[in-house]
Structure 1
Amino acid sequence: MAETMRAAAHDTVLGDYLCTVDFHVAGGIAALGASPFGERRIGYVTGGSFAGPRLSGTVLEGGGNWSVAGRLDSQTSVGTMDARAIWRTDDGALIYVSYGGRSVIPDDVRAEFADPARAALVDPARYYLRIAPVFETAHPGYAWLNGVLAIGVGERTDLGARHRIYVVR
């Protein structure tokens, strides 16, 4: 019985679509360089938008992503994310979003990302960008967000990053 319950729970982890969010990083990425803790990079969020069946609005300026990169192997970079942002829904609610995540980027893809003319054209199937956002809000209409964990599948865009976000069941 316990094994059946575990299998059933595992099968339902797949999420329900929440929204797609575009984070704009107009100021670029500040690369601090290699410290004893890794290759630290900081991206400043300058805006963006999100839209889905139950919420839509804008990403406010002022959030950011504090990432650390290293090497997975001789041909691949791996990174962690530590990001925070504030979303304002179309009806005025403020939602604090924070997430960790992982990126795995082959060196040939990283070289294409370095060229602004080619960066947004790289096929997302060639790299891995995943996040696990959590939400916090005082607005009663969005209180349900306080109790969910989400997962997101990301890609680079010409303005920053886009994530399709799903609520884990």
Structure 2
Amino acid sequence: MAITPTLEFAFSVRLDFPPGPRLRLPLAGGGVRGFVSILKGEVTGPKLEGDVVPGSGGDWPLFRADGVAAFDARYMIRARDGGVIYMTNRGYAHAAPNVQRLIDRGEKVDPSAYYFRLAPAFETEPGTHDWLTRSVIVGTGEKQADHSIFNYFVVL
């Protein structure tokens, strides 16, 4: 008998980015590699609370020719109890061209109008937060002009 997974909300992460244009490298094979550093961030939720360590990482998205953004973000979280967690976050975002133009202009767009899904992985020391290293976690993203919000769920 197949088991149908359910999701349990675990935590949200808000990442703040520096103002201004972001680095873009047009690739010889097509697409564009980007980079944006993370200024700061906050982690809130029933299973994890803390802050993103300033200067501990960034996102290196690949903007593909088919309109898909493939994310590759890496940064450190310091939990409220002092524990340190290394987070790798990969995923995909795409939208209809008219919606993408609004997002690119920094306008507020309802997250249900575009696809933004994530599959994070974690590394941490043994103890309080090592549940992150043995749980499947999925996420959704919301893009704003100067920050993004990610909501994460444990697959039960």
**TM-score normalised according to structure 2 size:** 0.90
Q: Rg bigger for which structure?
A: 1
Q: What is the percent sequence identity of the aligned residues?
A: 29
SS of equivalent residue, structure 1 residue 61: coil
Aligned residues: 154
Pick from 110, 122, 141 the counterpart of residue 100 of structure 2: 110
Matches within 5 A, 1:97-136: 97-116=87-106, 118=107, 121-136=108-123
Q: What is the aligned partner in structure 2 of residue 67 from structure 1?
A: 61
Q: 1:88 aligns with which of 78, 97, 100?
A: 78
The C-alpha deviation readout for 1:73-112, integer Å capped at 9, x for no partner, is xxxx112111101001111111100021011122212221
Conserved in 2, the CA contact under 8 Å of 1:134 and 1:148? no
Q: 1:53 aligns to what SS in structure 2?
A: coil
For 1:29-53, what per-residue CA distance to the aligned partner results, in whole angstroms no more than 9, with x for missing partners?
2111243252111121111101111
Q: Which consecutive unaligned segments of at least 5 residues does structure 2 have?
A: none
Aligned to 1:108, what secondary structure does the other structure show?
Answer: helix
Higher strand fraction (1 or 2): 1
Q: Match for 2:7 among 2, 15, 22? A: 15
Q: Which residue is equivalent to 2:39?
A: 46
Change beyond 3 A, Cα 1:82–1:37: farther
String of CA shifts for 1:7-36, please: whole Å, max 9, x gaps: 22xx12x32111011011125521112432
Partner Cα distance (1:142, 1:79) in 2: 30
| One-letter amino acid of the counterpart of residue 123, structure 2 | E
Q: CA RMSD in A?
A: 1.6
Higher helix share: 1
Partner of residue 167, structure 1: 154
Residue ranges of structure 1 left out of the alignment (5+ in a row): none
Divergent runs of 4+, >6 A? none
- CA–CA separation in structure 2 for the residues paired with 1:115 and 1:37: 23
Alpha-carbon distance in 2 for matches of 1:71, 1:147: 35
